[in-house]
Amino acid sequence: MKHVIALDIGGTNLRAALVNETYQIVELVVEPTPLNDLQGFLNQVKKSIDRLIKKQANISAIACGVPGRVDVLGGIDILPNIGIRNVPLQTFLETTYRLPIVIKNDAVMAAVAEGNLGYGKNLESSYFITISTGIGAAFIANRELRHSSEEAGHMLVPLGSGYEELEKVASGQGIVQLAAFYGVVVPDAKSFFERYGKGDPTLKPVFKSWLNYVTNFLKWVDRYYQPKAFILTGGVMKSKDHFWKELQSAVPHIPLALAQFGQDAGIIGAANLAFSVK
């Protein structure tokens, strides 16, 4: 049975897994992600991969999901949540392991998992959205990645008399900033929705504004991509009971679904692309 190594690299943890052809995670390594230290970051990636190779030396490919924009050649200009720039991850892995290497944005990896193996596997198309610290998205059609938009969170939306990036007002951290714009202090998105759910009147205009940003984004995606389903994930979805019906009513003709793979979506998607390498 073939095996690949799949990594889901975040600003907090670096998760590396040995995955078999049936998409079972045979072995999982979780380590803190070194911050503001390029060489330390590369060393930690190698350390995690080496631990998995000791378990299974016959690896056919390695794939990594990273929290930043990746060009078509695997180049990474910046990983802002990790605090490093000009990251030679593709070259580093190719020269170290002499294996096929796939590097994509982490939201893209999760979209591949959900679109090809999860809720969207039997659909003509699906649009994946993660609303967490930031906002990322990707469009899957006929089991192929057709468009990735790790920069979806950076599209401009109106705020007051000016404009702001979508994720600065609609992501988990964005909700905190949006509340501040309205003169309300909340420590995080979870607290925001808990207080809103208890009827805090100061949060009603904030919630209405936030909901408007997200539903308008869904309508925009529907207009340009016409997906057969929206698949959503991320920390904000843990509070979905407070807004799920409103989101669905914005695009009543398109089903909304929660991601099936949860925190393992990035790893499963990376493994899927690794197994697809010719």
Instruction: Spell out the residues 6+ positions from residue 265 whose beta carbon is closer than 8 angstroms to its own.
Output: 109, 110, 113, 114, 118, 233, 259
pLDDT at 130: 87
Q: Domains of the chain, with CATH numbers? A: 3-111+264-276 (3.30.420.40), 122-258 (3.30.420.40)
pLDDT band of residue 150 (cuts 50, 70, 90) is: low
Q: What is the mean pLDDT of the chain?
A: 92
174 closest CA partner among 162, 99, 186, 37: 186
d(CA 154, CA 164): 8
Residue 92 predicted with pLDDT over 90: yes
Mean pLDDT of 144-157: 75
Residue 143 predicted with pLDDT over 80: no
d(CA 204, CA 248): 19
